[in-house]
Structure formats: structure tokens, C-alpha cells
Amino acid sequence: MKVLKFGGTSVANAQNIKLVLEIVKQKAEKDKLVVVVSALSKVTDLLHLAAAKAAENDEGFRDIVAEIEKKHLDTLKELIPVSEQSSLLSHVKRIINHLETLLDGCFLLGELSPRTADTILSFGELLSSYIIAQAYQQISKDAVYKDSRELIKTNNDFSKAVVNFEISDVLIQEYFAENQSRITILPGFIAQTLDGITSTLGRGGSDYTAAIIAGAMNAEQLEIWTDVNGMFTANPKIVKQAQPIANISYQEAMELSHFGAKVLYPPTIQPVLRKNIPILIKNTFEPKADGTLITNQAPSNGAAVRGISHIDHISLLTLEGPGMIGVSGSSKRLFEVLSHEKINVIFITQASSEHSICIGILNSDAENAEEAINKAFEVEILQNKIDPCIVEKDLCIIALVGENMKNHQGLSGRMFSTLGKNNVNIRAIAQGASERNISAVINERDVKKALNTLHENFFEENTKQLNLFVMGVGNVGEKFIEQIHSQKKFLKEVLKINVRVIALSNSRKMIFDEDGISLKDWQSTLDKGEAAIPTEFIARAKELNLRNSIFVDITANASVSEMYEKFLKESIAVVTCNKIACSSAYDNYKKLKSLSRQYNAPFLFETNVGAGLPIIDTVKNLIASGDKVHKIQAVLSGSLNFIFNNFDENNSFHDVVKEAGVQGFTEPDPKIDLSGIDVARKILILIRESGYQMEIEDIENLSFLPGECMKTANNEDFFKSLITHASHFENLLKEANEKESRLKFVAQFENGKASVGLQFIPKDHPFYNLEGKDNIVLFYTDRYVDQPLLIKGAGAGAAVTASGIFADVIRIGNI
């Protein structure tokens, strides 16, 4: 005999029930079957709601009853031929009338006892099992219906009644000894007290019903048919990368289900474990998938951790004070109080100092527990020996589970450092002596991030997922997205980094996609996006709370640079090509750096100087290895270099500046480049990265632009002014030619002083032959004394800047 249980989604509607009937029909060809069914999906919740409303004198319960009635009548009509329907429909209506009468009673009395609640909740399974049994009889007459309440007897602990196995086992065995039908269909979840009152086995309890019958009958196998391909390495609704576990032991499955893997109701394992009956978890919607086999000794797949699970809606209660130390019996009293209040303790930790004891319970039990504990320790609290109980709500327990964990060192270290790196605060930790389970209590808002990052670390060959929030999709931004798109496969396969763009924004629109925006047609998606609101952008990034989140600023906007602080405080890394933050007030620069350290969120800005050239990274490495920078000489403006390299007798200054803009070498406002401000910002950043404190005002700017050009209010006027002052620029060129030198805009730092300005560079200088839009930097340091460390290459342009941003993102991926 095999016992099959079909859950709520498997029997959600007529269409799904047809799949169930097909599975049953096929299986019945080989085995005698007991089929246990849940209520139609959501019906138990609806019954719960209706009962609560009725007890609160809210007429709204009638609408819910109508909804329940419609759901069942519709299902029945679709499953049974019209000619056979009438008596069955009347029967369902009678059941619904009975339900409504009970709810009317609650409504009139304004009361709902646990006993009445159980009777009301039982209607879900009573209705579903009746309809399914009737539907199966259309296929085969070899199926009978049996009310589980006649077989499973419990105590009077309504809502989670305790089964009397002695009596129930005998009743079940006697019944099946007489009933020789090929198929028996029964409602799950419901049972009966010894004096004949309906009880229930706890939410999700249909699994248990099936296990009780399987245990009593020594069934060959218990099959739990549900809506997923088995027990997964983590809840598949939260962790997209989770995989079904092929084999798992009873103990591991029990730990996972106790710690929230809802796919199996925790008590289910006990009745079958005693008889060594395998449990097979299967998917009604994909019956060919292997599913998960739960047995006594599951073959190992070599991995230490078998699965990760979590329970949310947890509260931590801490009882502490000097009065606890060395006083035997404090914990006994604490647990007695909780047991008396029927409060289930899910998690316990006690430091060896015995100064405090910490327990995890459901949020819904917290107030009750707090009151009871404070009352029980009233005397000690009055004497200041123990503090009143501290309650922290809205937490969550996450647990790593695996039989094999005891044979591996360093798992808890790996677990906690993974969480720590993602700024998941751990409130409490517990590890059972069996070492089959390591659990931690964290904030509920971090659960998705924690589960995914742990899953990534323990199950995904160390693939790291980076979640990008990109602001600014101009020339550089567009190239950046293009590069990510084309490198995605390589990054995943070779570097084991999975880069996803979660948000994109320009100044007008923004879009979000938690699963990653498709980079093929992002432009059209962005055009259709919602209005861009920076505060909302931050709020969404925070709310999504994804692991390894990175804010990528590809704008040149001051207000965007003011957002960094908020991101870093959310442990969201910042990668930027925007120089404004790092060249703003020194205190602000320092603050961002220290926030980055404090919140474990990288703050990288390699492209602030020399676009994609590895200049800042090099300075960082010099300083970290103990070198000291004394002097910097550099041509740091790709655009000015391009301009002065192309400015000659045949190309006017105005035309060359225009061309530099067209090719994307200048800032959107070319005055920022030509005034020397941009170069001043860059040298300032290099100076700061070299460990010196300096402000932008401390840098002497020997501007070559006539005052009138500087004063123009917009790009159009600026370009006009370049024509007006053409002779000024021609004179500069003439002078350079006369001196057999070239014009270069040079930044320098020496003896604590810095300046930027146009210089006539003679032939023998390393800057003389600087081509096109190249940059060059010479660092004179303790170690590079005579021959400076030289970095040279293209220092402007969308593609190289994008690749520099890309490199910063990958640096974060490699941390």
C-alpha cells in the first residue's frame, strides 16, 4: 500500500484536480492507494478569516462564505457531468449552509473558541475530499470515501491536537482490514477528540494525516504531492537558484522542516520514521521530475550543507541580570512559564556566564510570553536582580542543515563571515550538539539577502551575484551597459560573477527589475519607465535589500554625488566616474571613505582620474605597501590633450573643441575641462589618495581661458566666445611654435603645493610626444626616485571610461 497526499495547490481547482485524478489512476494500476487531500488552495485561510470576522461582529464573513461556496460549486461543475450534478451540488450547498450556521453562531455570540474554530476550519477538507472522491468515482467505482475523523483520535488541544496513536493505529488497521477498495480517499488535517468533537492537526497538517495512516499501515511509501519538485536547498520562492535535493535523511528533513521548509509539515516524519517508511516528495505539475526521497540513511552528495531554511515572524526574548548567575532553576522556571502558556520555544541560547538567556518564539506569542515571564520573576525584578524581559520583534531564524556538517571545520565561520560581508546583523546564534544545524537570528528585512548569499556561498560553486543600480545612461553609461551585456557569459563562466542590472535611471525615467533588466532592449524599457525621482531610487534599492548591491554613478551631477552617503549607509557599494564627491570638501571625501569602511561597502572611483587607466589603484597599492608620494606631474585631461594636439594653423580652436565634444572627450559642459577645473579636481583626488589633506581652493589654477569665455552662461555662448577670442588662442600656438615646444595642460604637485595650467613643453620632455587624448602621470616616490613611475594611455572616451567603471565593479566581485 502507498499513501499519497495532495496539497492545496494540487487541488486548487478543477483543472489541477484532473491532474491529481490522472496520477491516482496510474498509480492505482500498481498499488493499493490511500489518498489524502488538503482543502482547495487558500480555503483554510478564508475559513480562518470568516471565523475571525464573524467573532468580531463583522458581516463581511458572509461574502467570504459566498466566495468559498462559489469556488467549490464551480470546481464540482467542471468535474462532474451535468446529468450527475444536481444531488452533489445540493450536498455541497448543505455543507456550506451548515458552515454558515456555525459562523452565524459566532457572529451572534461575538466569540470564537478554539474548539469552534477547529470545526469551522474542518470544512475546507470536508468539502475538497467529498468533491474529489465524487470526481474519482466518475473514473472508477473502485474508490471509497472515508472521513478521517473516524480513524484519527486526538486530545482536546484544539488547533494543534495531539494524536492518540494507540487508539488511532488500531482504528486505521481495523478499517483497512475490512475495506478492500483499491483506492480510499480521505480528508487531511482533520481528526476527532475521544468524545467525538472535531479537532485539527495544525496548519499544514494534511501531510501529518497521511503519515499517521502510512505509519499505522506500515505502508510501502508515503508520497507528498505538492507544487514544487521536492525539498529544495532553500525555499525556491525566495532563492531562485535553489535546487531540489535528491536524497535527504529523516533527521535532515526534520531540521529543515522545523526551520521553515514548509514543503513538509514537521510532525510528518515521526510516524513514518519509526517504521522506516520512505517519504517521496513529488510535484503534481511535473510528475516526471524525480522529487526528493527521504530515508533513514540518505546517500551523501559530498556537500557538507544539505539545505538552508528559515522561519520568519520571530521574536527574541532576553532575560538577564546578575540574579541569573549560578542560580540553579532560573531556566527551569523560565521554560515552565512558557510551557504553561503553551508557547513553543523555537530557539535557545545561553552564554556560559549564565548572565542571560535568550529564547526565540513566534511574534504572535511575544506579548503573552513577556507578561508571563515578568510576572513569574516579579520578585527578582523588584529587587533589581533580574531586568524586565527584553523583547525584540520582527526577526527571523535562518539555519544551515546537514548531517555531514559535523565532519567539516569552519562552516560556522564561513556562514557568519558571508553574512557579515553583506552587513547582515546577527542577533543570536545556536548550534546543536549534533552539529546538524547551525542557526542564527537576523532581522526580517535581511532574510532574502541572507538566504541568497548563503545559498550562493554553499551551493553555487562560489558564483557571486552583483546587483547594479545604474544612474546615468549617456555616452559612457550606454557603453558600460553594452560591455556588461557582451561580457555577461564570460563573467559568469570564467570569473564566476553574475552581474545583473536591477535599476537604470536617466534624468527623466527610471526602471527596476528585481530579476535583472534585459540588457538587449533596455532603452525602450527605460523610455516606458516611471518618472525618475532620486529619493525613490534610493528607497527602492534599500527596500530590495539585495546582496552585493552596487550603486553606479555615471553622471557628472553634483546632486547624484550627494546620494553616496545614503547608499553607503545601507551597505550598498558605490562605483563612480563622477569626480564631484572626491573633489568636494576634504571632510566629505573622508566621511565617504569612513562610511565605506564602517558599512563594509566599497567606494571605488578609478575613472575619476585617467578614465580606464589604473592610476588610483596604483596609488592605493603604493601607499598600502608603505611608499610615499613626493611629487606628481601629469597631463590629466584627455580632452585638453586632444584639443591642443589637434589645434593648428588649419583647425581653429573653436572647431577642435567642438569636435572633442562630439567625440565624447569633454564633460557635457566643456568649460569644466577648458577652465582647468576638471584637471584640478583630478590632481586633488590623486593628492588625497596619496595621503595628503588638500582642498580644491589650495590648487593654483593658471587658466588660459580669457575671462569673458569663463563668464559665459551656456554652451552656445561659450562656443561663440571661443570664436571672438580666436586670436588669443592663435597667439598661444604661435608662441609654442616659436619655442619649438608643444602646449600641454599640466597638473603638478610638489612640496605640498599643487597647480594646474598650460605649459610650453620642450622636445626632450616625456609629455612632448603625448598623442591624441592620452593621459600621462609621473609619480616620484620614496621607491621611484630618479625614474618616476609612469602610467600612460588613453585618458578619455566613452569606451575606456566605461571599462574603468566595469573594472571597479569586477573588483567588488572579487572581494
| Positions marked catalytic | 682
Secondary element (H or E) of residue 451: helix 447-459
Give the residue, chosen from 33, 37, 38, 560, that forms a contact with ligand ADP under the rule CB under 6 A.
Answer: 38
Residue 249 interacts with ligand ADP (CB under 6 A): yes or no: no
Residues 170-209 that bind ligand ADP (CB under 6 A): 204
User: In 237-372, where do the E strands start and end?
Assistant: 247-249, 279-283, 292-295, 307-320, 347-350, 356-362
Residue 205 interacts with Mg ion (CB under 5 A): yes or no: no
Nearest-CB residue for ligand ADP: 7
Count Cα atoms within 13 angstroms, Cβ side, for 410. 4
Q: Calculate the CA 485 to chain-centre distance.
A: 22
Residue 257 interacts with ligand ASP (CB under 6 A): yes or no: no
Sole window of 17-25, 201-209, 295-303, 580-588 interacting with ligand ASP (rule: CB under 6 A): 201-209
Q: 260: which residues sit within 8 A by CB, 6+ positions away?
A: 235, 309, 310, 311, 312, 397, 399
37 or 636: CB nearest ligand ASP: 37
User: Residue 309 binds which one of ligand ASP, Mg ion, ligand ADP, none, with CB within 5 to 8 A depending on kind?
Assistant: ligand ADP
Residue 268 interacts with ligand ASP (CB under 6 A): yes or no: no
Contact pattern for ligand ASP over residues 146 through 185, marking x by CB under 6 A:
----------------------------------------
CA distance 815 to 810: 9
Sole window of 203-211, 416-424, 496-504, 622-630 interacting with Mg ion (rule: CB under 5 A): 203-211
9 or 545: CB nearest ligand ADP: 9
Residues 252-271 that bind ligand ADP (CB under 6 A): 256, 261-263
Give the residue, chosen from 23, 112, 228, 634, that forms a contact with ligand ADP under the rule CB under 6 A.
Answer: 228
C-beta of residue 632 within 8 angstroms of C-beta of residue 778: yes
Grid cell listed for 623: 601607499
C-beta of residue 46 within 8 angstroms of C-beta of residue 16: no
End-to-end Cα separation, the chain, in angstroms:
55
CA distance 716 to 710: 13
Residue 612 interacts with ligand ADP (CB under 6 A): yes or no: no
Give the residue, chosen from 2, 3, 4, 9, that forms a contact with ligand ADP under the rule CB under 6 A.
Answer: 9
Give the residue, chosen from 4, 8, 411, 484, that forms a contact with ligand ADP under the rule CB under 6 A.
Answer: 8
DSSP state of 513: -
Amino acid at 518: S
Secondary element (H or E) of residue 701: strand 699-702
Residue 39 interacts with ligand ASP (CB under 6 A): yes or no: yes
Cα dihedral 707, 711, 714, 719 in deg (nearest 10): -20
Residue 291 interacts with ligand ADP (CB under 6 A): yes or no: no
205 or 529: CB nearest ligand ADP: 205
Contact pattern for ligand ADP over residues 492 through 531, marking x by CB under 6 A:
----------------------------------------
450 or 709: CB nearest ligand ADP: 450
Residue 231 interacts with ligand ADP (CB under 6 A): yes or no: yes
204 or 266: CB nearest ligand ADP: 204
Q: What is the DSSP string of 721-785?
A: HHHHTHHHHHHHHHHHHHTTEEEEEEEEEETTEEEEEEEEEETTSTTTT--TTEEEEEEEESSSS
Q: What is the DSSP string of 188-223?
A: SSEEEETTS-EEE--TTTHHHHHHHHHHHHT-SEEE
User: In 606-673, where do the E strands start and end?
Assistant: 629-635
Min dist. Cβ of residue 262 to Mg ion (A): 6
CA distance 615 to 602: 17
Give the residue, chosen from 124, 187, 188, 204, that forms a contact with Mg ion under the rule CB under 5 A.
Answer: 204
- Residues binding Mg ion (CB under 5 A): 7, 204
- Residues binding ligand ADP (CB under 6 A): 7-10, 38, 204, 226-228, 231-232, 234-237, 256, 261-263, 307, 309
- Residues binding ligand ASP (CB under 6 A): 7-8, 38-39, 44, 124, 188-189, 203-207
